[in-house]
A and B are shown apart, each in its own frame.
Chain A
Amino acid sequence: MSAPRILYCHCAFAKVVPAEVKSAVLAGLTGANVEFDAVPDLCEMSARNDPRLRDLAAQQPLHVAACFPRAVKWLFAAAGADLAPDATRVWNMRTESADAVLNGVLARTAGAESAQ
């Protein structure tokens, strides 16, 4: 299995994700010597129908550090970018600890919630 692509959402336009969790996850990713994409805010991109979402959705397998999987799935869908349910896993920084999120997104195979 190929290494998953990693997508991190900073939820920059609202304060619904704990700042300490975001900071710790971002620090963990930048310090892990892995390639990843970090976006300011998936909601904002979805609202703009940002075509970049389609590029990101096409990366498979994809590990996403963001918020609720149901929200992430339909934010992408609203912008015409369907996430592959079998190849996309989402970790929720609103409810999970930074360690749990990092362990999940950095794992080659993981057991987080599928975006379906």
Chain B
Amino acid sequence: MSLVPASRALVVLRGGGEASLGGGERARLAQLLLERGLEVACRRDEGVVAADLGSDAPEALAARLADGAGAGAAPAAWKPWFPVIDYSRCTNCMQCLSFCLFDVYGVSGDRKIQVQNQSNCKTECPACSRVCPEVAIMFPKYRHGPINGEEVHTDDVRREAMKVDISALLGGDIYSMLRDRSVKAKSRFSKERDDDRALKERQNCLVALKASRDLDIPAEVLAALPSPKEIQAKAEAARLRAQTLTEGAAPPRDAEQD
């Protein structure tokens, strides 16, 4: 077997040759290379020996090849956590764009929702998929279906549609409830209240809401949700941006400053 570092991140394992690794070692080498972030291509032709196999074990070979390719000992710490849109289900309603706190979503020139800033996505937060009424947003690294990419069944749509209510809860009822609580508390404890306490109360309330509904949405995301007014402004800014792009003019920067 020969080893040909074909490019920075690809190792070709060719079959045959006098220096062949055993089947188990070959598999082990491939696994180690993949875990270091290198692509592996297994080919049957013998090709030209481009690497001196020596008597290295798979671990040493993998380390040597990874070093040669500029790869580290393990993939980068970033977890590929970002939404993937199933356009066969998406109705372009823009709820995800309106709801996402981190500007992961954008709109294409033809006014189509798209994922534009994957790396902005909050790891382990599937909130946008929770508010998608069509179950069109996947997080392939998520634990449970259908968010992980499982086929969507009628029951899933019904269940997710119920969870869409969190949009109303978080954008409407919950704020009303918090405001009510805040007003009542203010009248009773006006001398003790300050902004920090109000924020803490809001966070506690949202965390309790999260726990009771098993939404899998990080507490800090819930606690940082924008107000309904801010959500509407954001959606309007996105709509204007899409319209401007379609018409070929410069995007209205002021509209994005919400």
Contact = CB atoms under 8 A, between A and B. Distances in A.
Nearest to B83: A78
A44 B36 CA distance: 13
B31 A26 contact: yes
A70 B149 contact: yes
Contacts of B75: 12-13, 40-41, 44
Contacts of B78: 13
Interface in B135-150: 138, 140-143, 145, 148-150
B221 interface: no
Interface in B113-161: 115, 118-119, 138, 140-143, 145, 148-152
B102 interface: no
A43 B75 CA distance: 13
Contact of B80 (A26, A43, A69, A74): A43
Interface string B76-114: 001110101111000000000000000000000000000
Contacts of A77: 87
B79 to A, nearest CB: 6
Contact of A74 (B36, B43, B79, B84): B84
B37 A68 contact: no
Interface in B1-55: 13, 15, 23-24, 26-27, 30-31, 34-44
Contacts of A70: 86, 138, 149-152
A102 to B, nearest CB: 12
A113 to B, nearest CB: 8
B80 A14 contact: yes
A46 to B, nearest CB: 7
Contacts of A16: 140-143, 148
Interface in A60-96: 67-72, 74-75, 77-78, 94
A67 B244 CA distance: 39
A66 to B, nearest CB: 9
A38 interface: yes
Nearest to B41: A37
A40 to B, nearest CB: 5
Nearest to A22: B31
Given A14-B80, A68-B149, A40 B38 contact: yes
Contacts of A46: 80, 84
A75 B140 contact: yes
23 contacts: A12-B35, A13-B75, A16-B143, A22-B31, A26-B27, A27-B23, A27-B27, A30-B26, A31-B26, A34-B44, A35-B43, A37-B40, A37-B41, A38-B40, A39-B34, A39-B39, A40-B38, A46-B80, A67-B140, A68-B145, A68-B151, A71-B138, A74-B85
Interface of A: 10, 12-14, 16, 22-23, 26-27, 29-31, 33-41, 43-44, 46-47, 52, 67-72, 74-75, 77-78, 94
Interface of B: 13, 15, 23-24, 26-27, 30-31, 34-44, 75, 78-80, 82, 84-87, 115, 118-119, 138, 140-143, 145, 148-152
